[in-house]
Amino acid sequence: MLRTPGAWNFLLPGFAARQPFAMLTIGIVLLVEHTTGSYGSAGAVAAVTGVSMALFAPQSGKLADRFGQRAVLLPGVVVHTASVAGLTALALGGAPLWALFAAAVPTGASVPQIGPMVRARWAAKLDGSPLMSTAAAFESVTDEFTFVVGPVLATALSTGVHPAAGLIAEGALTLVGGLLFAAQYHTQPPVLRSGAGTKGYGNGSAAGHNRASALSVPGVRVLAVAFLGIGSVFGGMQVSVTAFSEEIGNPGVNGVLYGTFAAGNMLAGIACGAIAWKNGPLRRVVVGYVGLTLTASLLWTAHSVVLLGALGLLVGLCIAPALIGGYTLVEALVPASARTEAFTWLTGAVALGQALAVTAAGQLADARGASAGFLVPLVGTALALVTLVSLRSRLVPPAEGRIAARGVQEARGAGGKNHRPQVPVD
């Protein structure tokens, strides 16, 4: 996969540009807690940022599909950097909470969607290739690595240099990394301005109009619900593991426990990318989600560090197949003209689920202890699994959609060959 021509041109700047994303939430929490003395206020400001990103990210993706990624990235990184600077100044100046909320909205809304944009570039490079599943696994591992390194870097800066240093670094890195990634415009997916070649995708919901929202494809809606459930695991684990560590009088074990969870996700992602799967991504999504729901349902029973660490590792191992399978399905469900938007809907769903879970798990943990907070991933994944299983037929693209996709390939200059490697869906 890494030998794909031009891949390294967008992978390296893409990695640099997505690193700040994992620093944003913890940077806000550490700064606002320092200036207000309240974790509740800090969490609320961070949650507003997450919800804002989840709501606006798909619109950014839609604009990127319509006008090109570079056209969206250039103003986006500038707005985000300015918004972060404004939020930092307000927090340090002792501004009221409502002003921090107001500044958090554009901060979250302008977060550059580097991950979805990289995935869209892979989809354009590997259109119809079995390597698309490997690329999805690679991106999952990269995301998880980012969320291991980013919070550590932001925490070190905020505690060792200045409370605002983590957030300031996030804004600066976003500006530099985003501009470097935008400079690789020759690797971005082509902008398809005609409606040709979209018919038949998504069970016909987006047929005939390449500017229809990716959310009009039923399969994308089903996957968005599934990714909401995955977000509930991330958010619920973050808060509940922290509360558990404080309950046992060993807050330092928090990093070890969450790192074990992240390590499980990374290991499963590597395995998913290394294995040549004979079954399709839909089956892997369903099987992975069943495992995720079962393991998440046991988290609240853990009353020791060893048991919670083992369960966290299992939960992480189950997340990767569900995430990777979902991202792989998008390539078959959505026309090329709407893929960036589709990927941002899924990424935004994870962010929204995480923001809601952080709030719910925090309230439960405050009222009834860490064990109650672990009920949030249980409920979130169970509801999403019911939706996924009952509507899984929406995730199977019709045969005519694949034929139409082949026509798009030929129209792009495939030399008139009626050949397109097919990825098994189920």
How many Å apart are CA 181 and CA 178, to the nearest integer? 5
Q: Are residues 122 and 171 in the same domain?
A: yes
Pick from 97, 113, 98, 346: which is nearest to 221 by CA?
346
Query: Do 177 and 314 belong to one domain?
Result: no
| Low-confidence residues of the chain: pLDDT under 50 | 194-210, 400-423
Q: Cβ(338)–Cβ(206) under 8 Å?
A: yes
- 98 and 5 both lie in a single domain: yes
- If one counts every other C-beta atom within 10 angstroms of the C-beta of residue 126, the result is 21
- Given 173, 191, 209, the domain boundary residue is 191
> Comparing C-alpha atoms, which of 228, 202, 226 is closest to residue 215?
202
| Count of domains observed in the chain | 2
Q: Tell me: do 182 and 239 sit in the same domain.
A: no
Same domain, 244 and 303: yes
Rounded to a whole number of angstroms, the distance between the first and last alpha carbons of the chain is: 22
- Angle at CA of residue 411, ends 409 and 412, nearest 5°: 65
- Give pLDDT tens digits for 332-369: 788 777 777 888 888 888 888 887 887 788 778 878 88
Domain boundary among 176, 191, 206: 191
pLDDT, position 100: 93
Residues in the chain: 426
Closest C-alpha among 272, 281, 289, 265 to residue 377: 289
Same domain for 184 and 210? Answer: no
Surface-to-core class of residue 182, CB atoms within 10 Å of its CB (0-12 exposed, 13-18 middle, 19+ buried): buried
The pLDDT assigned to 161 comes to: 87
CB 76 within 8 A of CB 112: yes
pLDDT for res 398: 60
Given a contact cutoff of 8 angstroms between Cβ atoms, the answer to whether 89 and 384 are in contact is no
Residues 80 and 160 in one domain: yes
- How much is the pLDDT for 247? 83
Domain limits for position 272: 198-426
What CATH number is associated with residue 293? 1.20.1250.20
Does one domain contain both 372 and 351?
A: yes
Which residues, at least 6 apart from 231, have a Cβ–Cβ distance to it below 8 Å? 349, 350, 351, 352, 353, 354, 355, 356, 357, 380
> Are 370 and 420 in the same domain?
yes
CA angle 22, 23, 29 (to 5 degrees): 120
Please indicate, yes or no, whether residues 161 and 295 belong to a single structural domain of this protein: no
Quote the tokens at residue 386: 């019911």
Task: Name the domain boundary from 175, 191, 207.
Answer: 191
Residue 399 pLDDT: 56
Residues 237/261, Cβ–Cβ less than 8 Å: yes
Q: What pLDDT is stored for residue 228 in this prediction? A: 92
**Positive/negative CA dihedral, 24, 26, 27, 33:** positive
* CA neighbor of 233 nearest in space, from 193, 288, 292, 188: 292
Which residue in 246, 258, 240 sits closest to 365, CA to CA?
Answer: 240
pLDDT of 197 reads: 43
Angle between helices 131-160 and 165-182 (to 10 degrees): 150
Q: Are residues 83 and 154 in the same domain?
A: yes
Residue with structure tokens 């070890």? Answer: 256
The predicted structure's pLDDT at residue 295: 92
Same domain, 183 and 240: no
